[in-house]
Structure 1
Amino acid sequence: MDVKTETKTQVNTTQKLTMVQAVNDALKTMLESDKTTMLLGEDIGKNGGVFRATEGLQEQFGEDRVVDTPLSESGIVGTSVGLAVNGFKPVAEMQFMGFIYPAFDQLMTHVSRIRAKTMGHYSVPLVVRAPYGAGIRAPEIHSDSAEAIFTHMPGIKVVCPSTPYDAKGLLIASIEDPDPVIFMEPMRSYRAQREEVPEGKYTLEIGKGKRVQEGTDVTVIAWGAMLPVAQQAVKQAEQQGMSCEVLDLKTLYPLDRDLIAESVQKTGRAVIVHEAQSTGGLGQDIMSVIHDTSFLYLRAPIERVTGFDVPVPFFALEDHHLPTPKRVLASIEKAVHF
């Protein structure tokens, strides 16, 4: 059973898009349909952003709605907070997730707490778009996977699509959500594939994952750029006669606990794949969900395949740092043959 929930309006035909094109299409769709939507970020207007995710939008919608900002992440997020509590739906772009740290104070002390501090009188319909991850030969501060920082901020949702279709539907849903969302975009996946994406407006439910394929021997859990890595390993495992179920979480907070529990209770084994470092990584929270809901169903210890506990290294060691299909396959074999 696929737990994906979809709401469609004004959808007629489809077009084959890359993920970065799907992001652009989602932003365009919201700028057209909702006059309160605004985009803010460094070089997002005239230059169309580092990855051209906002290309052509300032020309179409004007400088008042697609705003080139000074080089100040705390200023971008701080301004967006003010806009959000005054009736706008700002979408703030961080050029890279590693650049988000100067805005940490704004996110932790204001963005995540305003609904609680005002007893629900104010919400913060703010989306922070954050390209993340290694594998594109960028310097280390550009390549961080810092999702666990934000999943530990109550009041903020964290979304991470793996495909162009999901990127558009989840980004529109995030912009329409009354609460703040960190929208993680895997840079490695921006132009890695094309997929049929509906024209017009549609949304996918935040907080719901997707069963990518059915299996009976082991559950492999991934998201973002690690989903294709996991799928490559699963193909190799299947050649050895192992039946693998693959889950794409899509939302990292709140986690789809029901999907995780249902799958692990069926297979009795789990392999979690993420490129962030092991210590304090989201994999530990997923392990807690499995232990809380499915401990007595486990037939082997839970396996994790992650980045190492170091800053993302420079080019020569970058591929060694990232999880590979070979490492994922070894963990699948270890779990199945325990």
Structure 2
Amino acid sequence: MSKMNLLQAINNALDIAMSTDPSALCFGEDVGHFGGVFRATSHLQEKFGKARCFNTPLTEQGILGFANGIAAQGMTAIAEIQFADYIFPAFDQIVNESAKFRYRSGNQFDVGGLTIRTPYGGGINGAHYHSQSPEAYFTHTPGLKIVVPRNPEQAKGLLLASIRDPNPVIFFEPKKLYRAAVGEVPDEDYQLPLGQAEVVREGSDITLVAWGAQMEAIEQAAQLAEKDGISCELIDLRSLLPWDRDTLAHSVRKTGRLIINHEAPKTSGFGAEIAASIQEACFLHLESPILRVTGLDTPFPLALEKEYMPDHLKTYEAILASMNY
């Protein structure tokens, strides 16, 4: 075991992936000579050479067009989009090419070797062009997988699993957590299952579900609720496509209550899909309405970032509202 922050865990996973797979290429804006804007790819070019870790032109559509091309030829493409806010110029390549390549060819061709890494979310005073959480746009697209880690140990195992999964994966990295804390990370090569949620803490009164950086918010809210004698079950979804309905439904049947926390705006956020699915599966077990604690339906603000964030206090208020319904 080694102590790593989230960035170091991602770098370690990339190092292992490229060491164990000679066809793996790592590329994106500024990823080569100095390791990208956050230094996630530091020293990879030194170790693997400029042919396997290299800078691209500043064109997200081009990055993903190139990635689709080499993945279609059987290579492992690890593409970085510098900020998730910049992924939209590549939207057509991702949803109309990456996601549909296998289906439209009748499984004769695929781009399953493609992984798209991108930092997302607020918490760094990045304002509206460096703070968005666009995961819900992509969960509407069959053919993709969407993965979000919550800590360094999870990041390494989930990223290695994403790179080796036979489907195109978008790996959203919570940039707020990059250097926020260190954790124990196994040194060896390991993978964590995609599409499987984790029950981080068991409880009996109410279920709280989140992913990525928002896991910290629900953990802090659960600590406040515990002082009131409320037992919270905490679930990290980890994968949003596919997502683990069974684990969440099992929890809600036990507790009878559910709060969903995500940083993206409420309208058409992924929490809406969770709420609809869980009420279908658990309607007769619910003791109160499913609640969503989310970002606001506004562009991401700069001066009012703290007011925008769905923090532990807003989550705690929702816990009380649900329990007192």
Normalising by structure 2, report the TM-score.
0.99
**How many Å separate the matches in 2 of 1:67 and 1:87?**
19
Report the equivalent of 2:172.
Answer: 184
**How many Å separate the matches in 1 of 2:81 and 2:136?**
17
Q: How many residues align?
A: 324
Structure 2 residue corresponding to 1:140, chosen from 125, 128, 149: 128
**How many Å separate the matches in 2 of 1:263 and 1:282?**
19
Deviations, residues 289-322 of structure 1 (Å, cap 9, x unaligned): 21121111000001110001111011x1011111
Report the equivalent of 2:307.
Answer: 320
Following TM superposition, by how much is the alpha carbon of 1:123 offset from its aligned partner in structure 2, in angstroms?
1.8
Structure 2 residue corresponding to 1:238, chosen from 220, 226, 246: 226
Following TM superposition, by how much is the alpha carbon of 1:139 offset from its aligned partner in structure 2, in angstroms?
3.0
Report the equivalent of 2:79.
Answer: 92
Structure 2 residue corresponding to 1:109, chosen from 74, 77, 96: 96
Following TM superposition, by how much is the alpha carbon of 1:40 offset from its aligned partner in structure 2, in angstroms?
1.0
Structure 1 residue corresponding to 2:256, chosen from 256, 268, 274: 268
Structure 1 residue corresponding to 2:279, chosen from 291, 308, 319: 291
**How many Å separate the matches in 1 of 2:205 and 2:134?**
31
Report the equivalent of 1:5.
Answer: none
Query: Does the residue aligned with 2:73 lie in a helix, a strand or coil?
Result: coil
Query: Does the residue aligned with 1:246 lie in a helix, a strand or coil?
Result: strand
Is it true that 1:281 corresponds to 2:282 in the alignment? no
Following TM superposition, by how much is the alpha carbon of 1:138 offset from its aligned partner in structure 2, in angstroms?
1.1
Q: Structure 2 unaligned segments of length 5 or more: list them.
A: none
Structure 2 residue corresponding to 1:68, chosen from 23, 42, 55: 55
Normalising by structure 1, report the TM-score.
0.95
Report the equivalent of 2:109.
Answer: 122
Report the equivalent of 1:308.
Answer: 296
Deviations, residues 65-116 of structure 1 (Å, cap 9, x unaligned): 0011010000000000001010111010011000000001111110110010
Following TM superposition, by how much is the alpha carbon of 1:199 offset from its aligned partner in structure 2, in angstroms?
1.1
**How many Å separate the matches in 2 of 1:303 and 1:326?**
14
Report the equivalent of 2:152.
Answer: 164
RMSD (CA atoms): 0.7
Report the equivalent of 1:175.
Answer: 163
Structure 2 residue corresponding to 1:36, chosen from 9, 23, 39: 23
Structure 1 stretches of 4+ with a deviation exceeding 4 A read none
Is it true that 1:77 corresponds to 2:69 in the alignment? no
Query: Does the residue aligned with 2:78 lie in a helix, a strand or coil?
Result: strand
Bigger CA drift: 288-297 or 232-241?
288-297
**How many Å separate the matches in 2 of 1:242 and 1:154?**
38
Following TM superposition, by how much is the alpha carbon of 1:176 offset from its aligned partner in structure 2, in angstroms?
0.4
Query: Does the residue aligned with 1:231 lie in a helix, a strand or coil?
Result: helix
Query: Does the residue aligned with 1:204 lie in a helix, a strand or coil?
Result: coil
Query: Does the residue aligned with 2:42 lie in a helix, a strand or coil?
Result: coil
Query: Does the residue aligned with 1:247 lie in a helix, a strand or coil?
Result: strand
**How many Å separate the matches in 2 of 1:38 and 1:198?**
24
Deviations, residues 170-203 of structure 1 (Å, cap 9, x unaligned): 1000000111000000001111221111112100
Report the equivalent of 2:188.
Answer: 200
Specify the code of the residue in structure 1 equivalent to 2:171: F
**How many Å separate the matches in 2 of 1:129 and 1:319?**
26
**How many Å separate the matches in 2 of 1:189 and 1:107?**
26
Specify the code of the residue in structure 1 equivalent to 2:187: E
Percent sequence identity is: 46
**How many Å separate the matches in 1 of 2:4 and 2:109?**
36
Specify the code of the residue in structure 1 equivalent to 2:16: T
Specify the code of the residue in structure 1 equivalent to 2:154: D
**How many Å separate the matches in 2 of 1:200 and 1:324?**
34
**How many Å separate the matches in 1 of 2:178 and 2:71?**
28
Is it true that 1:53 corresponds to 2:53 in the alignment? no
Report the equivalent of 2:7.
Answer: 20
**How many Å separate the matches in 2 of 1:185 and 1:21?**
12
Following TM superposition, by how much is the alpha carbon of 1:278 offset from its aligned partner in structure 2, in angstroms?
0.3
Query: Does the residue aligned with 2:263 lie in a helix, a strand or coil?
Result: strand
Following TM superposition, by how much is the alpha carbon of 1:140 offset from its aligned partner in structure 2, in angstroms?
1.2
**How many Å separate the matches in 1 of 2:283 and 2:259?**
14
Higher relative contact order (CA 8 A, sep 6+): 1
Specify the code of the residue in structure 2 equivalent to 1:35: P
Query: Does the residue aligned with 1:313 lie in a helix, a strand or coil?
Result: coil
**How many Å separate the matches in 1 of 2:280 and 2:179?**
38
